[in-house]
Amino acid sequence: MIRAPKDGAYSGAAMMRRKLVAGNWKMHGSRTANEPLIDAILASPYLDQVTCVVCPPFVYLAEVARLLRDSAVRLGAQDVCAEGHGAYTGEVAAAMLHDVGCRYVIVGHSERRNIYGEDDVLVARKFAAALAHQLTPILCLGELLAEREAGQCQEVIGRQLDAVVSLTGIGAFAGAVVAYEPVWAIGTGRTASPEQAQEVHQFIRERLARQDAKIADALPILYGGSVKTGNARELFAQRDVDGGLIGGASLKAEEFLSIVAAARG
């Protein structure tokens, strides 16, 4: 368990957190399409102000690492195995991701939870595996539409979050990123309002602050779910929204660049 000094109660005083925009390419991309997309991202004038991460499919990681060269754009993977190494056909270990140049990895994306049945405990183990190999986990949390409509949003987010804290300890969140991604907003064109996003982001920060206010205050909490040029600025202007995890719009260079520009404020 990683420990950090306790720092009293959460003051709610927002510190300056650097904005982060991560592109989740999902199962998209090709050797032909990746190069112009990366070239366009590398031309963004805001890479010194906004942390920018691209998460291509596993098979393209090494090639994208080469395209990124020693730029400020960071490489991330979309998933990781909870085990260290061994007879796990089809899986990819955290050490391998680090070896090919990844510095971030998405864990607990709703498509992994809902299509592939990953539960809170497995997600927590993946989060721990990432940290053990110098990868920053981007921990996705989010409620289904039915859960929101039943008034269970906080209960679901709290349960998903607590599963990780109880496995790793609050100290682990000093090296992590959280992404709030309401499932009903992912790939649907339907976005949470800035107020809805802020409400959940504040809930996440305050829940962690009960255990360590300093770590909670410094934690980047991204919003994900149909972020695009037209809504990014308003979402990112919310006090507890520290950037975005971008799906569909991360595949279109112009759109992704304008989201990065919006993150700069």
Active site residues: 109, 181
Give me the least distance between CB of 197 and ligand PEP, in Å please: 12
Stretch touching ligand PEP by CB under 6 A, among 13-21, 161-169, 194-202, 240-248: 240-248
Residues 166-225 binding ligand PEP (CB under 6 A) are: 181, 186-187, 224-225
Give me the least distance between CB of 180 and ligand PEP, in Å please: 10
Give me the least distance between CB of 250 and ligand PEP, in Å please: 7
Cβ closest to ligand PEP, residue 124 vs residue 246:
246
Residue 63 belongs to what H/E stretch?
helix 61-68
d(Cα 58, Cα 37) in Å, to the nearest integer? 17
d(Cα 168, Cα 239) in Å, to the nearest integer? 27
Q: Is 258 an interacting residue with respect to ligand PEP (CB under 6 A)?
A: no
Report residue 97 as tokens. Answer: 């991701």
Q: Is 247 an interacting residue with respect to ligand PEP (CB under 6 A)?
A: yes
Give me the least distance between CB of 262 and ligand PEP, in Å please: 14
d(Cα 195, Cα 154) in Å, to the nearest integer? 15
Radius of gyration of the CA atoms of the chain, in A: 17
d(Cα 218, Cα 21) in Å, to the nearest integer? 16
d(Cα 100, Cα 61) in Å, to the nearest integer? 7
Size of the site for ligand PEP (CB under 6 A): 13
Among 23, 24, 138, 142, binds ligand PEP (CB under 6 A): 24
Cβ closest to ligand PEP, residue 10 vs residue 142:
142
Q: Classify residue 40 as exposed, middle or buried by CB count within 10 Å of its CB (0-12, 13-18, 19+).
A: middle
Q: Which of 170, 99, 176, 174 is nearest to 137 (CA)?
A: 176
Question: What does the DSSP assignment read for 129-149?
Answer: HHHHTT-EEEEEE---HHHHH
d(Cα 195, Cα 209) in Å, to the nearest integer? 21
Residues 130-169 binding ligand PEP (CB under 6 A) are: none
Among 61, 183, 246, 262, binds ligand PEP (CB under 6 A): 246
Q: Which residues contact 69 (CB under 8 A, 6 or more apart)?
A: none
Binding mask 58-97 for ligand PEP (x = CB under 6 A): ----------------------------------------
Give me the least distance between CB of 252 and ligand PEP, in Å please: 11
Q: Is 129 an interacting residue with respect to ligand PEP (CB under 6 A)?
A: no
Residues that bind ligand PEP (CB under 6 A): 24, 181, 186-187, 224-227, 245-249
